[in-house]
Amino acid sequence: MPSISTHQKTQIRALIDKDEKIAAVKLYREITSVGLKEAKDAVEAIMRGEAITPPAPAQVGEPDAFLENRIKRLLAERKKIEAVKIYREAYNCGLKEAKDAVDLIQADMRREGYSNVPSMPAISNDPFAENTQRNRRFLILVFAIVLIFLAGVVFFFLAGNGF
């Protein structure tokens, strides 16, 4: 990311002096490639007369495999907002850049058929957690057996009384 030149600082200052804060924020974003909040905070600091330093460049290079797996797991759990937040924090980028990157990861997951998505552990951390679907099937089976037994008993007593 390029640093802010004296000319660019003058342009931002001129927009602030004309009471065009939004235009100043836009210009700061174009120059520094930061997110909206960071640009707004920087322009407000300039308005207060504080010296600003452009943010450090975002991380460049090989994506972190652990981070990518964590993002994929969150996407598989349908927690896209949390995945975007984690990406933003890790790569120090704006919301749009993070959302676009997470969208690309999600598109790769679709193309791969979710084959590389880390699965959740088969056993939960709670040793007393119950498999409710299996328990439900068992209860239905027990209920059906009890009904059949009761129907047999009722039939036996009615048949014995000359019904």
pLDDT digits (tens, 9 = 90+) for 86-132: 888 888 788 888 888 898 888 888 877 765 444 445 455 555 555 66
Q: What is the pLDDT of residues 31-44, one digit of tens each?
A: 887 778 888 888 88
Domain that residue 155 falls in: 131-163
Question: What is the number of domains present in the chain?
Answer: 3
The pLDDT of residue 106 is: 86
Residue 52 lies in a domain: no
Q: How far is CA 111 from CA 29, 74, 136, in A?
A: 33, 17, 36
Do 13 and 41 fall into the same domain? Answer: yes
Residue 126 lies in a domain: no
Residue 105 lies in a domain: yes
The pLDDT of residue 142 is: 95
